[in-house]
Chain A
Amino acid sequence: MTFLSPWHIPALAALAAAPPLVLLYFLKLKRQEIEISSTLLWRQAVEDLRVNSPFQKLRNNLLLWLQLAIIALAALALAEPTGTRVASDIDNSIVLLIDSSASMSSVEQDGRSRLAIAREDALQIVGSMTANDRAMVIALADRAAVRATFTSNKETLREAIRSITPTDSAGSLAEAVRLAEAHVVPLGEDEGATADAPLADFLLFTDGRLADLSDVAIRRGRLQVIPIGATDDNVGIVAIDARRHHERPEHVTVLGRVRNFSSKPVETDISLWVNGVMEGVRPLSMPPLGEADQLAAMETPWMAEEDNEAAVAFEFVAPAEVEVELRLHRQDALAADNRAFAVVPPPRALQVLLVTPGNRYLRDLVEAMPIGTLDVWTPAEYEQAEDARLVEEGRSRYDVIILDGHSTERLAPGNYMFFGAVPLVDDVSARGVVNDGIILDWDETHPVLRHVALDAMDVLAWLDIEASPPAVTIIEASNGPVLTIARRPRHQYLICAFGFFDAARETLNTNWVFDESLVVFMLNRLRYLTGTTGHGHQRPLSPGDTITVTVPPRQRDVHVWRPDGRRDEAVVHSEGLVSYAQTERVGIYRIGAEGLDPQKVAVNLLDQRESFVAPLAQPRVATGEVRVGTVAEVRPRPLWPYVLMAMASVLLVEWLVYGRRVRV
């Protein structure tokens, strides 16, 4: 038991002195006996003194003992006793990091969500704070938000904790730690100079399912994790894909992937809902992901064999735009991954413009893609074409313009693909030609390179491209990027530094043209640039991602209808660009204005780490294992209310005893 009051030492010292003091009264005084002629006058004198003296000898009296007990309990309560407290040399600064990611929405067996439990635990911590403590509150999901800066005001902290609402986003700790450390380090102090001394207790309320937990380095605080949650019972949709048929665009295929993240085998149903009407149901049966203790030790669900998955496919006919939803018919811990959404636009053939001096390989390749119309121009035709042939309603008439070996600055808002050329914009330039370079690395996880094998690819020469951020390099060679994605407002450039032919050598520049992976690569590029995976298909967003759509220029009063029924105002930027970032819940977001058909965007969790709700038993960060403890272990539980209750009880007894004595 510890005491929160700074005055507890003198209070308890006084308390400790009381028993010996009372014991003194029990000691019998050893008196010297002497004979006198008569005790008559002495007795009278003693009696007189007793009558006139303000003090008298302590007499054994139950009321006295009860009152002594009340005083002792009051002194104890004033010292604010608490339960056991983990010894800490950081007394005063506490950072409450509360995970509000999707997995924290899991409902435990007692019916409370993990976030609710975390909030209650955090409120307990706030309740146990002394006058010398200060705390700040940070809510973390895909982004971190400071809900309360350092303060000793408990009510402010409580309000901040209560204001944290659940999200369906993935969890990330790094930003929250950076924020916390920025608040902890005093202004003007060199962060690196005294980096050894922890300045605050970072109390992280989480189930441990944070994407970057093991990468986080904590330098100016001592991280303690308060593990939240116990259940691992969850089955989630981990992928959804809705696409129109290549040849029969009115046919829509919906593919879904479901995974069992629990320690028990699961049998359930999955249904397809189209525009709110159920179109079909499939039964699912999946083995467990692993034993419960195995799950608690797993940092990621990918460590297990993926035979605990089930794939489903639905087909239906929809000649117009449809909203598609896959729904799992099972009550489990996490509801956010039991539904997955997709918006299938109406059948629309991609319009592609290929600008090439006569690259037959490329033309054949593009023609093989699932596109509607393909126009093939020479670079001269492109430069001389009237604006009306290229621009419609302020943006490119073509969904994708492929420029083969032709660098240009005629770039209307739209999607561009360059081969052996660069857009003539400020932040991208070609410094020369690289011969016999070596391709070093490529990002296999990027959608453009999905299912593309580059191991056998050889390229003779490519442009030495310099692209400043925010350009993203996807294939990197010894001297710079080979494949780059550059974005400007309303423009998207996918730049491949080499072409298929080497004009100077009059030969093929790469052996890639003979590789089937080039076909896949081209399909990926088209999908990526057009935001589709085929005819009438959108690229899905995750919670927390920013929705970006375009509306006609000068359009005002654009609203966002959220899946939870709320309506938000959206800000229209220049050139009719609308972005909306508050996509913390899964579902379909509708963006539009009066007299304008809303544009629909589906936001899905589709995050196996968040669906894997089994709490992580021993979290680790980059700086080592972290301390894990319950609230009672990390922070003391205040005991003074119980002492006060005991005092009230003794007071009641004392009153009863007194009442019986004075009754005649």
Chain B
Amino acid sequence: MAIALKSTELLDPDFIRRLERLDIVSRKVFMGRMKGERRSKRKGQSVEFADYRNYVVGDDLRFLDWNVYGRLERLFIKLFFEEEDLHVSVLVDMSRSMDFGEPSKSLYARRVAAAIAYVGLVKYNRVTLCAFGDRFGPELAGVRGRHRTARVLDYLANLPCDGEGSLEDACRQFALRHPQRGVVVLLSDFLDKGGFEEGLRYLIGRRYDLYAIQLLSPQEIRPEIGGDLRLRDVEDGDLAEITVNRALLARYKRNLNAYCSRLKEFCTRRDANYLFAGTDVPFDELVLTFLRRRGLLR
């Protein structure tokens, strides 16, 4: 179980200042509930012109384009993009396997989640944070505004790291509870013996703008073990007796690469984003460089 952190350990003030400049970008335009700082697909009352259409009875006469009527003597209604808020959801895998590695994957995941949530709050997006471990939850849903930052950080700092964690179950629960579309960032190691495909299908099926970020510790990417070992799975207690030799290590790395490649291919084929990150990569570099390069932040 992860030790509770102080909220400042997740995001230090200096880093927060650097996040101020960022915004969350969705490759897809979603319909929001409230007017926000985001251009919606709905044509509405913002100042940004979108298109014209023929006047029909009942239209608001304030949006008639009188200049066009003067030249063409036909009535056209000016259409404007309406600015709405964006749903940003961050799913954090807090199963026991995430409490592994140096630095810990759970800490790394929570810091990434905190950074994305902060950017979302600052930009008046509706931010939802979900953790899943032994069961789905706890959840911090629909928070907006900068003043919610402390709550969000406090939530993340106190997330327990426990249970086997079923990706499929968590994704299914999330998809059921959050029908509105938006940006969904899934932070996990994806080392689920039940497979990752079913869970991701739930999210992709909801047409979320999905970012799957796979976090692995250096100990998992380049294991430095040797001899005759009995490996115990921290989640289900499964034992595997191995004799580590060069051939086995090579085979493990090849399997890991193949696993990650399969995950990436699965996501890419379904218009989802995949990002691999080792926890030895500095956290700020991931957020400020890799996520921006991927287009989640700008």
Q: Which A residues lie at the B interface, using CB under 8 A?
A: 29-46, 48-49
Which of B227, B228, B231, B234 is within 8 Å of A42, CB to CB? B231
| B97 interface residue per 8 A CB criterion | yes
- Once the chains are docked, how many angstroms separate the CA of A99 from the CA of B248? 76
On chain A, the residues within 8 Å of B217 by CB distance are 37
- Once the chains are docked, how many angstroms separate the CA of A234 from the CA of B78? 150
| Min distance, Cβ B262 to any Cβ of chain A, angstroms | 12
Chain B: CB-nearest residue to A44: B255
| B193 interface residue per 8 A CB criterion | yes
On chain A, the residues within 8 Å of B256 by CB distance are 41
Contact B101 A37 (CB under 8 A): yes
| B154 interface residue per 8 A CB criterion | no
Contact A40 B193 (CB under 8 A): yes
Contact A37 B97 (CB under 8 A): yes
Contact A38 B235 (CB under 8 A): yes
B15-23, B238-246, B281-289 - interface stretch: B238-246
Contact B191 A38 (CB under 8 A): yes
- Once the chains are docked, how many angstroms separate the CA of A397 from the CA of B48? 176
- Once the chains are docked, how many angstroms separate the CA of A43 from the CA of B247? 14
Contact B97 A38 (CB under 8 A): yes
13 CB-based A-B contacts, threshold 8 Å? A30-B228, A31-B230, A32-B228, A33-B239, A36-B220, A36-B231, A37-B100, A41-B191, A41-B252, A44-B255, A45-B251, A48-B255, A49-B248
| B232 interface residue per 8 A CB criterion | yes
Given contacts A34-B225, A46-B240, A49-B251, contact A41 B259 (CB under 8 A): yes
- Once the chains are docked, how many angstroms separate the CA of A377 from the CA of B296? 165
Contact B252 A33 (CB under 8 A): no
Contact A36 B189 (CB under 8 A): no
On chain A, the residues within 8 Å of B193 by CB distance are 38, 40
Which of B100, B229, B251 is within 8 Å of A33, CB to CB? B229
Given contacts A43-B240, A46-B242, contact A32 B234 (CB under 8 A): no
Q: Is the interface of B mostly helix, strand, loop or mixed?
A: mixed
- Once the chains are docked, how many angstroms separate the CA of A33 from the CA of B229? 6
Given contacts A32-B227, A46-B240, A46-B248, contact A41 B255 (CB under 8 A): yes
On chain A, the residues within 8 Å of B248 by CB distance are 45-46, 49
On chain A, the residues within 8 Å of B235 by CB distance are 37-38
Most B Cβ at <10 Å: residue of A34, A36, A43, A44: A36
- Once the chains are docked, how many angstroms separate the CA of A40 from the CA of B255? 10
| B265 interface residue per 8 A CB criterion | no
Tell me the chain B residues, 81-127 only, with Cβ under 8 Å from chain A. Answer: 97-98, 100-101, 105
Q: Which B residues lie at the A interface, using CB under 8 A?
A: 97-98, 100-101, 105, 189, 191-193, 217, 220, 225, 227-235, 238-242, 247-248, 251-252, 254-256, 259
On chain A, the residues within 8 Å of B238 by CB distance are 39
On chain B, the residues within 8 Å of A30 by CB distance are 228
Chain B: CB-nearest residue to A53: B247
Contact B232 A48 (CB under 8 A): no
- Once the chains are docked, how many angstroms separate the CA of A45 from the CA of B189? 18
On chain B, the residues within 8 Å of A49 by CB distance are 247-248, 251
Contact A34 B229 (CB under 8 A): yes
Given contacts A31-B241, A37-B100, A37-B189, contact A45 B252 (CB under 8 A): yes
- Once the chains are docked, how many angstroms separate the CA of A39 from the CA of B247? 17
On chain B, the residues within 8 Å of A40 by CB distance are 191-193
Given contacts A31-B228, A33-B232, A42-B231, contact A48 B251 (CB under 8 A): yes
| Min distance, Cβ B292 to any Cβ of chain A, angstroms | 28
- Once the chains are docked, how many angstroms separate the CA of A14 from the CA of B235? 48
Chain A: CB-nearest residue to B251: A45
On chain A, the residues within 8 Å of B234 by CB distance are 35-38
Given contacts A42-B252, A49-B248, contact A31 B229 (CB under 8 A): yes
Count A-B pairs with CB separation below 8 Å.
84
- Once the chains are docked, how many angstroms separate the CA of A36 from the CA of B97? 8
| Min distance, Cβ A385 to any Cβ of chain B, angstroms | 122
On chain B, the residues within 8 Å of A39 by CB distance are 231-233, 238-240
- Once the chains are docked, how many angstroms separate the CA of A37 from the CA of B193? 11
Chain A: CB-nearest residue to B217: A37
On chain A, the residues within 8 Å of B240 by CB distance are 39, 42-43, 46
Contact B229 A38 (CB under 8 A): no
Known: A31-B230, A46-B248. 6 other contacts (CB 8 A): A33-B229, A36-B232, A37-B189, A39-B239, A42-B240, A48-B255
- Once the chains are docked, how many angstroms separate the CA of A46 from the CA of B249? 10
On chain A, the residues within 8 Å of B220 by CB distance are 36-37
| Min distance, Cβ B222 to any Cβ of chain A, angstroms | 13
Chain A: CB-nearest residue to B97: A37
- Once the chains are docked, how many angstroms separate the CA of A487 from the CA of B241? 104
| Min distance, Cβ A232 to any Cβ of chain B, angstroms | 76
Most A Cβ at <10 Å: residue of B240, B241, B254: B240
Chain A: CB-nearest residue to B99: A37
- Once the chains are docked, how many angstroms separate the CA of A33 from the CA of B228? 9
| Min distance, Cβ B236 to any Cβ of chain A, angstroms | 8
On chain A, the residues within 8 Å of B98 by CB distance are 37
- Once the chains are docked, how many angstroms separate the CA of A538 from the CA of B71? 178
| Min distance, Cβ A27 to any Cβ of chain B, angstroms | 12
Contact B232 A34 (CB under 8 A): yes
Most A Cβ at <10 Å: residue of B100, B231, B247: B231
- Once the chains are docked, how many angstroms separate the CA of A44 from the CA of B247? 13
On chain A, the residues within 8 Å of B227 by CB distance are 32
Chain B: CB-nearest residue to A38: B191
Most B Cβ at <10 Å: residue of A34, A42, A48: A42
Which of B232, B242, B254 is within 8 Å of A35, CB to CB? B232
Which of A32, A41, A45 is within 8 Å of B229, CB to CB? A32
Contact B255 A45 (CB under 8 A): yes
On chain A, the residues within 8 Å of B192 by CB distance are 40
| Min distance, Cβ A550 to any Cβ of chain B, angstroms | 102
- Once the chains are docked, how many angstroms separate the CA of A43 from the CA of B231? 10
Contact A29 B228 (CB under 8 A): yes
Chain A: CB-nearest residue to B96: A37
- Once the chains are docked, how many angstroms separate the CA of A217 from the CA of B100? 95
| Min distance, Cβ B254 to any Cβ of chain A, angstroms | 8
- Nearest 7 pairs between A and B by C-beta? A37-B97, A38-B191, A37-B100, A45-B251, A31-B230, A45-B252, A33-B230
- Once the chains are docked, how many angstroms separate the CA of A42 from the CA of B252? 6
- Once the chains are docked, how many angstroms separate the CA of A43 from the CA of B242? 9
On chain B, the residues within 8 Å of A36 by CB distance are 100, 220, 231-234
- Once the chains are docked, how many angstroms separate the CA of A49 from the CA of B193? 20
- Once the chains are docked, how many angstroms separate the CA of A568 from the CA of B287? 125
Chain B: CB-nearest residue to A33: B230
Given contacts A32-B227, A49-B248, contact A42 B232 (CB under 8 A): no
- Once the chains are docked, how many angstroms separate the CA of A49 from the CA of B249? 10
- Once the chains are docked, how many angstroms separate the CA of A422 from the CA of B228? 112
On chain A, the residues within 8 Å of B247 by CB distance are 49
Contact B230 A38 (CB under 8 A): no
Chain B: CB-nearest residue to A43: B240
Contact A34 B228 (CB under 8 A): no
Chain A: CB-nearest residue to B240: A39
- Once the chains are docked, how many angstroms separate the CA of A33 from the CA of B234? 12
Contact A34 B231 (CB under 8 A): yes
- Once the chains are docked, how many angstroms separate the CA of A36 from the CA of B191? 11
Contact B100 A42 (CB under 8 A): no
Chain B: CB-nearest residue to A48: B251
| Min distance, Cβ A30 to any Cβ of chain B, angstroms | 8
- Once the chains are docked, how many angstroms separate the CA of A31 from the CA of B230? 6
